[in-house]
Structure 1
Amino acid sequence: MSQHQPSDLPPYRAVLVVDIKDYSGYQGVEHQSLSEQVPEILAATFARIGRPEVWDEKSFHDSTGDGYAVGLDPRRLPLLIDPFLTGLQQELAHRHELATGTAAHNPVRMRVSLSVGPLTDTGHNLLGDGKGTHRVEAHRLVDAPAVKELLERTNPTLTFVAAILSERVFQDAVATGYTGVDASEFTPAEVRIKQYQGTAYLYLSRASGDALANGLVPGTAPVAPPAAAPVDPPAPAAEGNRSRGGMGDLHEVSGTIIAGNDGSVQTGDGQQIIGDPGLAVHNSEFTGGIHQSAPRRKRGRRP
């Protein structure tokens, strides 16, 4: 028997982690202001989508320096994907529109990761809360090259958010249809960073630049099928052995054609054409002769 005593499983929590793109590229004097803005932006986003109470429900939460980490009820996972990611995109775009000075040329852009699993949580936001494998996973994902490169390949004044979901989040909340976003809008990517390895799913609520042209992972953009070659319309079907019209076609007609004075044409093979025999023959593949019949005279009484 094992000497290890079983432990109670911590409660399941959804983990939302955000990082500011190129945080280290800002001057040191700006770091405090940027860090303080992040929770304000998140709170404003929940208000923007009409769900401010979700931000108030957060359990553990703390700054990561260049970002923020939040623990939430896992039932909120679908909402954290949609409409939260779109709301965050809109909130950052709105702030960029209002920016002045150097900030107008250097918009705040974010990477977002979502994970879910058992994490310590006393409900009092203590130092030991929010600890566990899936918290580590969320931080590894937000730093993954795949999501960094994705945001880099977008237009900096159009796309402000790039998201990456753990496989568990994707399977539980997206593939099952609980979100308002179709599973086909996500692109799988293999992630290997430090000791972490797994499949994650990339998402943009507003695609632009090379990511729009070539896919969230280069080479994954849908390719339009080649245009079908034009097809000649089929020849009109014959109406029995009788065709009408001065420009009708005669195909593979051989023998003698007898053209009546009334415009009828009697072919050697029994077909009859009503119309101008000259035009009919002109449009046919015909070999043989044409005889025009003389008009019949009406018989009269002798005096």
Structure 2
Amino acid sequence: MPDTQGMAAFDAKGFSELPSLTQPGASRLIAELVDESFVEAGLQQVLDERSFTAPRGDGLAMGFPPKYLPAVIDWFIPLLDRAAAAYNACYRDAPVRLRMSLHLGPVTIDGNPPDANGTARNDLHRLLDSEPLKRVLDESDPEVTHLVSVLSDRVYQDVLVGGYSKLRPGACTRVEATVSGKAAFRQTAWLYVPSPSDGGAAAPAAGGAPDGPWRFPRRPRLSQSVGNGTAVAGDVYGGLTIVHRP
């Protein structure tokens, strides 16, 4: 039987409506936001130990050791939400609003570069394309909600109900995940919105070192000094500093 993998997939709302010329740049942006958020979360190990990374046209999919799932939920998801929010604050004419699915299951890893195949991989993408996930992003405030995620029932039961995550099970909303045109797919899943437009349950505050076996060093923040005039320093995570000296 193949090894069980943690898996995540990402895409962006409205990607297919972009001109063909701009689609590669949008795909690179998603990959950069994902990678930088893992680093900022202190989860470089997740990137180093990826079992596969597969571009998806409008996003990407990746696999990683299941032991990192609590840290991905507790630290990576809130930071990716903040990264998208900070980017959108700077580029209001071309915002990126993200969907993410998270799953756990056996897949066969092969090929060069390696990719994953199996029912669990298929379900990962069905969850990403599911109607409830798309609907909650469509109906949310674009100024508030920049990322919506869906956890498979197995991730929810094993990680949240099992007590391995700081995120309480009540922070997620149970849905029946279905996909238009895929009548055979229907699964229980759990929506998690780090910054809900209705003021509901929010993500744990990002920052500091995560508790538990995934404790990693964090990257230092940017800093800036100025003798006279105005300096602006920051990063894609919203850590903006403005210094003015006359």
TM-score (norm 2): 0.76
Equivalent residue pairs, number: 199
| 2:71 is the alignment partner of 1:79 | yes
Aligned to 1:140: 126
Deviation, structure 1 residue 125: 3.4
Aligned to 1:178: 164
Partner Cα distance (1:62, 1:122) in 2: 12
Deviation, structure 1 residue 41: 1.1
Matching residue's letter, 2:177: V
Matching residue's letter, 1:109: R
Partner Cα distance (2:140, 2:45) in 1: 32
Unmatched segments (≥5 aa) in structure 1: 1-8, 216-303
Partner Cα distance (1:27, 1:124) in 2: 30
1:199-238 alignment, distance < 5 Å: 199-208=188-197, 211-212=198-199
| 2:188 is the alignment partner of 1:196 | no
| 2:149 is the alignment partner of 1:156 | no
- Kept in 2: contact 1:59–1:125 (CA 8 A): no
Aligned to 2:41: 49
Q: Please, what is the CA RMSD of the aligned residues?
A: 1.8
Deviation, structure 1 residue 105: 2.4
Partner Cα distance (1:190, 1:212) in 2: 23
Aligned to 1:227: none
Partner Cα distance (2:33, 2:83) in 1: 7
Matching residue's letter, 2:113: N
- Kept in 2: contact 1:59–1:124 (CA 8 A): no
Partner Cα distance (1:13, 1:125) in 2: 17
Matching residue's letter, 1:135: R
Decide which structure has the larger Cα Rg and report it: 1
Structure 1 residues 50-75: Cα deviation after superposition (integer angstroms, max 9, x where no partner): 22221121111111101100011011
Counterpart of 2:4 (choices 9, 12, 22) is: 12
Partner Cα distance (1:66, 1:178) in 2: 31
Counterpart of 2:106 (choices 108, 118, 123) is: 118
Aligned to 2:62: 70
Partner Cα distance (1:132, 1:125) in 2: 17
Aligned to 1:289: none
| Cα gap change, 1:50 to 1:123, in 2 (>3 Å) | farther
Deviation, structure 1 residue 106: 3.0
Aligned to 1:169: 155
Partner Cα distance (2:178, 2:194) in 1: 24
Aligned to 2:244: none
Structure 1 residues 33-64: Cα deviation after superposition (integer angstroms, max 9, x where no partner): 01122221111001121222211211111111
Corresponding residue SS for 2:62: strand
Corresponding residue SS for 2:108: coil
Aligned to 2:93: 105
- Identity among equivalent positions (%) equals 32
Partner Cα distance (1:34, 1:53) in 2: 25
| 2:23 is the alignment partner of 1:31 | yes
Partner Cα distance (1:125, 1:118) in 2: 19
Unmatched segments (≥5 aa) in structure 2: 202-246
Matching residue's letter, 2:90: L
Deviation, structure 1 residue 120: 0.8
- Kept in 1: contact 2:132–2:178 (CA 8 A): no
For CA contacts below 8 A with separation 6 or more, give which structure has more relative contact order: 2
Partner Cα distance (2:100, 2:72) in 1: 10
Point out 4+ residue stretches in structure 1 off by more than 6 angstroms. none
TM-score (norm 1): 0.63
